[in-house]
Amino acid sequence: MSHQKIKDLLIDYLTETTKEVRKEAALGKGREILGEVINRPEDIDIGIDKVGEEVLEKLLKKYKIAATIFSEPEARDIKNGDHLYGAIDPFDGSALYLKGLEHNWYTALSFYDKERNPIATGIADILNEKFYIMNNGSNYLFDVKNGEKKEIYPSRKKKITDPIVLASYLMKSIYSEKFLDIFGDLVKNMHPKGLLYPQGGSFIYAYLAAGLVDAYVMFDEPRSEIDAGFPIAKKAGCSVVCVNSDGSYKDYEFLPGRQHDKIDLFIASATPELRDALIKHYVKKYAEKYSFKS
């Protein structure tokens, strides 16, 4: 399969989905509730979520690419062949869109070969019309408005005492309660110029790859929020791991058809040193709160 062909499809996907979502939003459409999301009591599937899926299905036919694409609503997985795997988050920001908030609207798409190795990733910042691309071994940002293209690189911060940008999705209590229970002390003691960025999902890996965010920490993170975006951070050299309660960890891997599973503790960090510092904090707080005391 030609890398150029996949890149062309990826750019077309980001371009067309950005255009169609902006058009739907301008008309006030896409807020109808379609149903629940499997294993996600906090989430719902709305009309705007279908836009990217429909664009991708059309483009796969146009480029004659045979692939199995996994999406959040399992009933809408795209299966037109088995030459490639894909993971799509057709619209990241549904909760905000449903409330009428024009903030953090993204779409993300990644392709994997049959051995589950990442091939390409595209993440579109829909409101600002910027595309974050990983393809053929390089990461770059493309600004649609002015046509500028530039390479992107992650942060090199190594200490949690540095003025880091720490991200975690905190807008819903199902996630914020666990995070603050363990990492609340760390947040209270952050560097005065540090920042807790209360957002996350598939777009956050573009921010990691571009050095806008230093680390992303989530409890019970759904795989559907990881698979469509994490390869761009991985290619940038970021550490992307699943962590056990004893502090041991393993690299995160894409598993086809497992998009509804969740990761108990998930950490993506710009450097291994920052990863280790976050894990050390977690192990200490976990032992204090949950270990049996004699």
Distance CA 191, CA 1 (A): 47
Coil, helix or strand at residue 254: coil
Query: For residue 79, what is the DSSP state?
Result: E
- Angle, to 10 degrees, between the axis of helix 272-290 and the axis of helix 173-188? 100
Distance CA 37, CA 52 (A): 17
Residues 157/191, Cβ–Cβ less than 8 Å: no
Distance CA 106, CA 63 (A): 23
Q: Where are the beta strands (DSSP E) in 51-104?
A: 67-70, 78-79, 84-92
113 marked as binding residue:
no
Residues 213/96, Cβ–Cβ less than 8 Å: no
20 marked as binding residue:
no
Of 219, 171, 220, nearest in space to 197 by CA: 171
72 marked as binding residue:
yes
Q: Where are the beta strands (DSSP E) in the chain?
A: 33-37, 40-46, 67-70, 78-79, 84-92, 106-112, 118-125, 130-135, 138-143, 149-151, 165-167, 195-197, 215-222, 239-243, 249-251, 262-269
**Residues 6 or more apart whose Cβ sits within 8 Å of residue 66:** 60, 80, 81, 82, 83, 84
Using alpha carbons, list the distances in angstroms from residue 93 to 23, 36, 128, 132, 187.
Answer: 16, 16, 14, 17, 24
Which residues are annotated binding-site positions for Mg(2+)?
Answer: 72, 89, 92
Which residues are annotated binding-site positions?
Answer: 72, 89, 92
